[in-house]
């Protein structure tokens, strides 16, 4: 796993805490509005149904109060920029846990999770170490990962149901930035400028670093397309062909670095 070469980006903790709750609220409203038969429909996540996906989303937020209730994490720290690269190793465990969630009353489950989250994070310190599966993460860092989980799986829900669940601006921004920074960590360098307006600009890929004027190698796309590319929901060549990604310059090909997480 390549180490991050730059100083990690800072996030406003209060805004991230609020963004997690806001995005979960959007998901809750969207799930409640689904007709019962839609919950048994398929998703693009293997054999998961919409109900499985909805249960997983609840768990992603419920994990915060659950971890806060545990003994503080140990010395093996997991940096925020390393998190995207380790999640694939837990796919089997995540699938098993998700299928074990009682999702017979999603409305009740979502209400309980939202209440537990608000109570748990209310006065919890940002530096509190949580014993996550991959190592200890600060609460502040772990909450940023929750924006990724919520935004990515909101997109999965929308793809499966056409529900049109909205994206909280703060959650979408944090998700976009973390995945952009993860690319810069995986492919350090300054030869390519990746722009995801209005949220992120990073330089990456080995080669001559550009310092003035228009960069010779530029990739630009919108936040949701970038998130889909970074998580394997979209293919680089297809997004280029459909003009959802623009890439100029001989080094502006990110296919070998994607996806960042599955």
Q: Is residue 57 part of a domain?
A: yes
Q: Is residue 144 part of a domain?
A: yes
| 252 alpha carbon, distance to own chain's centre | 24
CA distances, 17 to each of 33, 121, 129, 166, 232 (Å): 25, 8, 16, 18, 27
- Domain span holding position 210: 173-257
32 and 144 belong to one structural domain: yes
Total-model pTM: 0.94
Q: Is residue 262 part of a domain?
A: no
Burial class (CB in 10 A: 0-12, 13-18, 19+), 27: buried
DSSP string, 26-56: HHHHHHHTS-GGGGGSB-SSTT-BHHHHHHH
149 and 28 belong to one structural domain: yes
The token pair that represents 172 in the structure block: 């979408």
Q: Which residue has the tokens 């997983």?
A: 56
Count how many domains the chain has. 2
159 and 204 belong to one structural domain: no
Neighbours of 93 (CB within 10 A): 10
Q: Is residue 131 part of a domain?
A: yes
> pLDDT tens digits for 5-26?
467 899 999 999 999 999 999 9
Res 212: pLDDT:
60
Task: Kindly give the parts of the chain with pLDDT less than 50.
Answer: 1-5
140 and 41 belong to one structural domain: yes
CATH code of the domain covering residue 40:
1.20.120.450
DSSP string, 220-239: EE-HHHHHHHHTTSS-HHHH
Q: Which of 148, 171, 194 is the last residue of a domain?
A: 171
């Amino acid at each position: 796993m390549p180490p991050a070469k730059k100083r990690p980006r800072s996030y406003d903790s209060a805004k991230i805490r609020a963004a997690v709750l806001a995005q979960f609220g959007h998901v809750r409203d969207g799930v409640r509005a689904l007709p019962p038969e839609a919950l048994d429909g398929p998703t693009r996540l293997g054999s998961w149904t919409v109900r499985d996906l909805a249960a997983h989303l609840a768990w992603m937020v419920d994990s915060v109060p659950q971890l806060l209730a545990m003994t503080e994490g140990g010395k093996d720290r997991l940096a925020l920029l390393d998190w995207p690269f380790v999640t694939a190793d837990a796919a089997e465990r995540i699938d098993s846990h998700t299928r074990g969630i009682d999702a017979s009353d999603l409305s009740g489950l979502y209400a309980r999770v939202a209440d537990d989250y608000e109570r748990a994070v209310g006065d919890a310190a940002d530096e509190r170490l949580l014993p996550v599966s991959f190592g200890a993460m600060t609460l502040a860092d772990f909450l940023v990962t929750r924006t990724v989980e919520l935004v990515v799986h909101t997109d999965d829900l929308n793809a499966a149901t056409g529900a049109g669940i909205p994206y909280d601006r703060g959650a979408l921004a944090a998700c976009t930035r973390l995945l952009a920074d993860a690319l810069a960590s995986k492919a350090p360098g300054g030869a390519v400028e990746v722009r995801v307006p209005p949220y992120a600009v990073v330089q990456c890929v080995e080669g001559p670093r550009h310092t003035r004027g228009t960069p010779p190698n530029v990739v630009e796309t919108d936040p949701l397309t970038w998130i889909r590319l970074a998580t394997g929901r979209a293919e680089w060549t297809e997004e280029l062909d459909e003009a959802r990604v623009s890439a100029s310059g001989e080094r502006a090909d990110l296919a070998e670095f994607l996806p960042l997480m599955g």
